[in-house]
Structure 1
Amino acid sequence: MHKLSVILLLVLLGLNLRPVMASIGPLTEYLLQSWHLSYSWISLLNGLPIVMMGLGALSSQWLLSRADLRRLLALALIVLGISTLSRLLNQSPASMILSSIVAGLGIALVQAFLPIVIKRQWPAQTASLMGMYVSAIMAGAAISAALAPQILHTSNIAWALGGWGLLAVPTLVLLLWLVPAMPHTAAANAKVTLKPGRFCRLAGFFGLGTSGFTCMLAWLPPHFIDLGYDATTAGLALSLLSTTEVISGLLLSQLAARSPDRRPWIMLALLLAIAGILCLNAGAQMAWVGVILAGCGVGALFPLSLIACMDHLEDAQSAGILTANVQGVGYLIAGASPILAGMLRDALHDFSMVWLGLTLIFIITMGLGWGFDPKRYALHIRR
Structure 2
Amino acid sequence: MDIEKSLIKNLTKNFEGPSFQIKFWDGEETLVGGSTPTFTLKLNKPLNKKDMALSTTLAFGEAYMDKNFEIDGDLYFALNSILQNITHFNFDFKGLPKIFHKSSKTKQKENIASHYDIGNDFYSLWLDKTMSYSCGYFKNEKDNLYDAQMNKIHHILKKLNLKEGDTLLDIGCGWGALLIEATKKYKVKGVGITLSEEQFKKFNERIEEEHLENFLEVKLMNYLDLPKLDKTFDAVVSVGMLEHVGRDHYPDFFNSVSSVLKDSGIFLLHYITSLIESPGDPWLKKYIFPGGVIPTLREIISLSAENNYHVLDVENLRLHYKNTLLHWYSNFNNNIDIIENKFDERFIRMWQLYLCACAAVFNNGICDLHQILFTKGINNSIPLTRDYMYKD
* Bin for the TM-score computed over the shorter chain: under 0.3
Greater helix share, 1 or 2?
1
Q: Using CA pairs below 8 Å that are at least 6 residues apart, which structure has the higher relative contact order?
A: 1
Larger Rg: 2
How high is the TM-score relative to the length of structure 1? 0.26
